[in-house]
Amino acid sequence: MADRVAGRRERFEAVYRELYAPVCGYALRRIRQPEDAAEVVAETFATLWRRFDACPQGDELRPWLFGVARRVAANQRRGERRRTALGQRLAESFDREAFDLVGQPEETSELVRAFSRLSESDRELLSLVAWEGLSRDELAVALGTSRAVVRLRLHRARKRLRDALPPTQFRLSGGHEHEWT
């Protein structure tokens, strides 16, 4: 029994070390309050620990964990701000200097404005592609839906983004479809 628990901890630690930075990235790219971001990171890994024996393994684990982080962040938005002991513990290790390097985009371009006008679900979908670099298959895991639905939603989100941009901003037709469409 003790060996089994130790083995579980060891496997979890390996995953934690691999995915800690991506999960921090996911949280801090979306949440400006470091304490709130710390809550998302902490609760995401607490969920992973609790479900470690039942969650996807291999290539599916990373997108699955982004899916967990997405739900944690969504619950946080719905239920105001949470403060938990785990999150608090991480937040107390906050480094202001490092945080100051994590800025909002300097570019106040049409793209920024168009992106901010999209629905939350469109923004999240496009962010998962652009910022987390998820493929279509990985998006299906993160969003808990089928590849066909992902393809359709991506197509629509991308179109809405283009529609929100001035006509000269991007090539609108005739180009190659990007791999994620």
Integer Cα distance of 15 and 67 in angstroms? 16
Altogether, the residues listed in the chain come to a count of 181
* Binding flag, residue 127, other proteins (CB under 8 A): yes
The pair of structure tokens assigned to 75 is 């619950």
CB 25, min distance to other proteins, A? 4
Q: Which of 40, 73, 90, 142 binds other proteins (CB under 8 A)?
A: 90
Integer Cα distance of 121 and 135 in angstroms? 17
Range 9-28, binding other proteins (CB under 8 A): 9, 12-13, 16, 20-22, 24-25, 27-28
* Binding flag, residue 94, other proteins (CB under 8 A): yes
* Binding flag, residue 56, other proteins (CB under 8 A): no
Do 62 and 20 touch, CB atoms closer than 8 A?
Answer: no
Phi/psi at 38 (nearest 5 deg)? -60, -40
* Binding flag, residue 150, other proteins (CB under 8 A): no
* Binding flag, residue 49, other proteins (CB under 8 A): yes
